[in-house]
Structure 1
Amino acid sequence: MRKISSVLLKRSITSSFSHFSTTSSCTRSSFQYANLVVEKNTKKQRLPSDPSKLGFGRYFSNHMIDIDWDVKEGWFAPKIKPFQNFAIHPASKVLHYAQQIFEGLKAYYGVDGKIRVFRPELNMERMRRSARRSTLPDFNTREALLLIDELIRIDADLVPKTDQASLYIRPMMFATDQHLGIGESAQAKWACFTAITGSYFNYDRGIRLLADPEMVRSWKGGVGQYKMGCNYAPTIFVGKMAAMHDCDQAMWLSGEDRLVTEAGAMNLFMLWTNEDNELELITPPTDSGLLLPGITRQSVVELAKEWNLMKVSETNFTMSQLARAVQEKRVHEFFVSGTAANVGPVSEILHCDKEKGIMEKLLIPTMSSKMQLYKRLHTALSDIHYGRIEKPEWQRIVEL
């Protein structure tokens, strides 16, 4: 076991490091990178030679971060240790009351040989908001990022050296209190592991969405804006329903007005000619609390505003507005955004209009659009991810 000093922030861990004494000291307000203890894994992950065989989230790297918290003692020293199973008590609150949050971000091997993480400070701030809503302990964004940097450094050889794959990073926190009572947890665990991952979707034919107003993901006053595990379990059944209709994901509608909110676990955008005959890129607003404020979503909005090619609006729109605009051939593109998906084109929406007793198929000309905005956004983000475009404020470089 070795303890890593804060003076080594910009150096990789090697076997030549001195051995420091291990400490069990705790910090109340946040875990600290300076207290990090590292145990190297002697076993190495074997990966398929073809990146197209990776899939999403099936191959895990060699190490993980593990940090415990106690309401009386505060945060214990963080550990990076060999990737392994957790050992938790059967009465842990996470297993009974879904007191759990997580994040998803990626590291990319750049064309210049540098490893970049895309806007990770936004993920950590979102994770802290989720923690507060879940009554889980707070932590310091900077300290979390330093630990994630170190985890990536240790497993840097597993960051795919291709622009067809990346290293997916999964920070998480969950309640470990051994008590079958609903209430705040007196113990918790913060952890992070990584997965070598390929493409999430096959975009050759475009994504098909099922819109059924009876299936609801979030509601006003709920927790749709937070990245909690409890938001995802109810969507799996609806995903199976979508697959039965030859669709890839569900498109979530909300309220009597059937507001269009999200698609699967992704944000969505529509490029259309609006009722005022303006070319407009529109996406549902995050201040409603109905949808997750995605980092890729925010980046798409910011890029589109920088390009100044059309009006860009964060505004609600309804299923009836969408259907009418499609029928009037005013919808030019419809696409989704997310960490796993990047930007993906939607080619078809299957709308269950039970008031009319019909299943309405809306064909979206995204793939044949002359503007190809979705493709331009996808390319721009990929270029930033892999360092073909320098945008330092969006790129955290992990020093090796």
Structure 2
Amino acid sequence: MMVSLFQPVRNTIRCARFISSFRADDLHITLTDKPKPKPSDDNLPFGKNTSDHMFEVDYTPALGWSRPVIRPVEPLKIHPAAKVLHYAQELFEGMKCYRCVDGKIRMFRPMENLNRMERSAVRSGFPPFDRFELLKIIKKLINIEQEWVPYSKNCSLYIRPTMIATEPCLGVTQSADSKLYVITGPTGAYFPTGMKAIRLLADPQYVRAWPGGCGGFKMGSNYAPTVAPLFQAQKELNCQSILWLFGDDHQMTEAGTMNLFVLWTNENGEEELVTPPLEGGLILPGVTRKSVLEVVREWNEIKVTEEVITMGAFIKALNEGRVKEVFGSGTASIVCPVGQILYKGQELHITDTEDVGPLTKRIYNHINEIHYYMKPHPWMESIDIDADESLRNVTAN
């Protein structure tokens, strides 16, 4: 039986997190006196806008967590020797909240993201924190920024919790000092052309993750090495993203920053939705991935499987006419159809049109209706907070 190297650390943190953590009741709020003009909900780009306020809290071994604050957004002040700038000790999350059809603002499965954030913090050597207290504070931040939540069924408020190592010491050791902060901003679709089938480059020379590595954690260091290959794929090969492969058998792992799904008729003649498994650490445990699996299993109409998909098996199924749909899933896009894959100079055509497959479209519509509460669902968590409570301990900037 394999024993995780990080199990003792994880158990220690479970015991300590409620003793050593910031608390929502201690939150101090400073409101801006120079609010920014809000962008139009029409043609909102992804990730280009930030709202007026942010949450921030610092950790030092001597003092533990500082008093948490919500304040106007401004540049961070960190030492040039801070470990995050040299050794990429950093993690982040991506979450969204929506202005629902009943006028209320709700978050989509926030504890799933914060549970993953806690796992990433353990792997990164960050201090423990109470994720339930963090959620309370995020809700307060959203309450303050509620007018930044778009009045549109095509947009949302993106929420970016982040932790960085701030100890000013040039040495590859666990950072003594840390900063946790949260920014938000209104955002539109990740792909500005809408939900159209994209083209992926599958080049085995580029590897995103490997067993025992950090591919299963949400760390900025996972993304930096993907930027140059992605730019090359977009500029030179007319591919919108990359299909990441692993191993001598060229396992299909992820589609860009999205989890990968294949709908096919398997060799037993069954209609099957298959996605690579989380075991092995190659795959990020996406919240949307989990949601897609749960939705399709609940429908109970087709077989749902988590197993390795190799390029060999995929091409064989494609040549035999058994591949029906391929799509990626993620917070930014919900689902994104894949039309073509460029592999070793060979064009693999899943579809010759930009049309969305029936299952992909059905999943998108179903989850999108949950987001905006057209389908009331327990995945949507209200941020209803009494205004007086949320603005307690307020000072003017």
The two structures have a TM-score, normalised by structure 1, of: 0.89
Count of residue pairs brought into register by the alignment? 366
The aligned counterpart of 2:213 is: 222
1:331 paired residue number: 323
Cross-structure match for 2:153: 163
Distance 1:99 1:50 in 2: 35
- Equivalent residue in structure 1 for 2:99, among 104, 109, 126: 109
Question: Which residue of structure 2 aligns with residue 125 of structure 1?
Answer: 115
Q: Does 1:84 align with 2:74?
A: yes
- Shift of the alpha carbon at 1:46? 2.1
* DSSP-derived class of the 2:211 partner: coil
Say if 1:209 and 1:348, in contact at 8 Å, map to a contact too: yes
What is the Cα deviation at residue 47 of structure 1? Answer: 3.3
CA RMSD of aligned residues (A): 1.5
Contact 2:54 2:182 in 1 (8 A): yes
Cα deviation digits, residues 116-162 of structure 1 (max 9, x gap)? 10000010010010000000111111101000000000000110011
Query: Is this contact kept in 2: 1:345–1:367, CA < 8 A?
Result: no
Mark the runs of 5 or more structure 1 residues left unpaired by the alignment: 1-26, 353-358
Q: Which amino acid aligns with 2:176?
A: A
Corresponding residue for residue 364 of structure 2: 378
Query: Does 2:33 correspond to 1:42?
Result: yes
CA deviation vs aligned residue, 1:216-269 (integer Å, no higher than 9, x gap): 000011100000110000000110121021011100000111111001111010
Question: How far apart in 2 are the matches of 1:207 and 1:57?
Answer: 20
Report the secondary structure of 1:190's partner residue.
strand
One-letter code aligned to 2:100: G
What amino acid is the match of 2:259?
N
Match of 1:303 among 295, 301, 322: 295
Q: Give the equivalent residue in structure 2 for 1:238.
A: 229
**1:252 is aligned to 2:244:** yes
Question: Match of 2:181, SS?
Answer: strand
Could you say which residue in structure 2 is the equivalent of 1:13? none
Is 1:65 aligned to 2:55, yes or no? Answer: yes
TM-score (norm 2): 0.90
Structure 1 residue ranges, 4+ long, deviating more than 6 angstroms after superposition: 366-371
**Conserved 8 A contact 2:195-2:337:** no
Give the 3-state SS of the residue equivalent to 2:31 in structure 1: coil
**C-alpha displacement of 1:320:** 1.1
Paired residue for 1:188, among 178, 182, 200? 178
- Give the corresponding residue for 2:7: none
Given residue 190 of structure 2, which amino acid in structure 1 is its aligned partner? Y
Shift of 1:205: 3.6
SS at match of 1:51: coil
CA distance in 1, matches of 2:335, 2:95: 15
Structure 2 residue runs of 5 or longer lacking an equivalent are: 1-17, 386-397
Deviation at 1:291, TM superposition (A): 1.1
Letter in 2 for 1:399: D
Trace 1:147-162 onto structure 2 (pairs within 5 A). 147-162=137-152
- Which residue identity does 1:156 align to in structure 2? Q
SS in 2 for 1:34: helix
SS of the equivalent of 1:380 reads helix
The answer to whether the Cα contact below 8 Å between 1:110 and 1:385 also exists between their aligned partners in 2 is yes
- The aligned runs of 1:190-205 (5 Å cut-off) are 190-201=180-191, 202-203=193-194, 205=196
Q: 8 Å contact 1:28–1:75 — kept in the other structure?
A: no
**Aligned residues of 1:351 and 1:362 also touching (Cα < 8 A):** yes
Letter in 1 for 2:348: L
1:398 aligned onto 2:383: yes
Higher RCO, 1 vs 2 (CA within 8 Å, ≥6 residues apart): 2
Deviations 1:40-75 (A, max 9, x none): 0112222332521x2111011010000000122211
Alignment partners' CA distance in 1, 2:187 and 2:288 = 18
1:277-319 deviations in Å (ceiling 9; x for gaps): 1100000011120010000000000000000110000111101
